[in-house]
Amino acid sequence: MKKIGICLTRGWRSVIGRNLFVFVGILLTASIVYFYIDAPLKFKVAKIVESGDQEEYYSPRDNSISRVSFNDSKNDVIVFVHIQKTAGTTFERFLVRYQDNLPCKCMAHKKRCNCARSQSNETWLFSRYSTGWVCGLHADYTELVVNNCVQNVLDRQTGFKKNRNYYYTTFLRNPTDRFVSEFRHVQRGATWISSRHVCNGKPASLNDLPSCFDPRIGWEGVSLEEFISCPYNLAFNRQTRMLADLTLVNCYEHVRKPTHEQDRILLASAKENLRKMAFFGLKEYMDDSQWLFENTFQMQFSRKMSVWGKSKSNDTVLNESQIAFIKNVNKLDWELFEYALQLFKDRISQMKRLIIN
């Protein structure tokens, strides 16, 4: 019995020793993850949110605008972030067809044009009508910039890595009008189902991003009530999401389980990225947007964008409750748009002073 007791004691000590070793290993691993991965990420998020917590987030001193000495013979590239139903198609078409400073070679009945530099075959324009949807259909800021897709695509085209100057541009729109325009577009048959929504290096799965409709059938003919009832509808706050760094909120987790904290992070990130863009326009101010772009990049369009940027959804009739609901589910976009409007007006004023001086 004594021998059995000794063996049992030694056995328990061995088990305790192994468990203690495992516990210490787990503790050390957790510490490494926190200090080298989790803590820096939280610090990065905190820095963005901290500025977003201010009652007056927009400040003219945070924004400076200058006239770009854009040079197509060197390393300058204009990149357009195309948010659906914001007049982006009009702007992109004007870039390739209606400006003569850096003419693109366009063929009849072909959407894409060759916008190669004057001294090489490298493109000076990264957009739908030049490079095509090479980073995915309506690729957002996360796909284009955070995932480094623009740089990788252009490096593959040249065959080697190269430092370039990227001038990011986009267009925004009144969120309610944009949302209704997207609804009408989907009602006519559009779904953008081939969008990949790449984040953290991988496309979103159906578990990450549930669908509002059967992909085999589509959503053509959808009613407004059905369209606004889907909690996973990417039309909600689309402008904010497409301009934010989604890796800060664990990619598309906020679509399935939205929180106030995630909303604050997304909005602050979208504002910061918008402020850093070389140019952005507003659909409601097409003439002013064209003037600002022409003077920022010193390129001239041969036609007026305001004549071409007409909406097909102005005849949509909404009652007061529908308008209130749409505004509420797009509250982040509304805050972003109000910030953008102030920023846009300030850039117009700054550019006028630059021209006078």
pLDDT band at residue 51 under the 50/70/90 scheme: very low
What is the distance between the alpha carbons of residues 277 and 334, in angstroms, rounded to a whole number? 19
CA nearest to 157, candidates 111, 198, 116: 116
Instruction: Say if 14 falls within a structural domain.
Output: no
**How is residue 251 annotated by DSSP?**
T
Among 33-42, 185-194, 213-222, 255-264, the minimum mean pLDDT is found in: 33-42
Tell me what percent of the residues of the chain surpass a pLDDT of 70.
Answer: 81
166 sits in which H/E element: strand 165-172
DSSP H/E element including 29: helix 2-33
**Type of residue at 79:** V
pLDDT value at residue 36: 43
Task: Domain of residue 328: give its range.
Answer: 70-356
- 50-76: b or e for each residue (b if 16 or more CB lie within 10 Å)? eebeeeebbeeeebebeebebebeeeb
Which helix H or strand E contains 288, and what residues bound it? Answer: helix 286-297
> What are the structure tokens assigned to 179, written together?
């949302």
Taking phi first (over 0 means left), then psi (-120 to 50 degrees means alpha), and beta for anything else, what does residue 161 get?
beta
Q: Report if residue 30 sits inside a domain.
A: no
- Tell me whether residue 21 is in a domain: no
Instruction: Say which residue, 332 or 29, is predicted with more confidence.
Output: 332
Residue 59 has pLDDT above 70, yes or no: no
Q: Could you confirm whether 138 is annotated as catalytic?
A: yes
Q: Which CATH number does the domain housing residue 221 bear?
A: 3.40.50
Sorted by sequence, the CB contacts under 8 Å of residue 341 that are 6+ apart come out as 282
Number of independent structural domains in the chain? 1
Question: Can you give the pLDDT at residue 69?
Answer: 79
In a domain, 271, yes or no: yes
Which pLDDT tens digit goes with each residue over 226-261? Answer: 999 999 999 999 999 999 999 999 999 999 888 999
**Does the structure show a pLDDT above 90 at 17?**
no
Q: Active-site residue among 82, 138, 197, 254?
A: 138
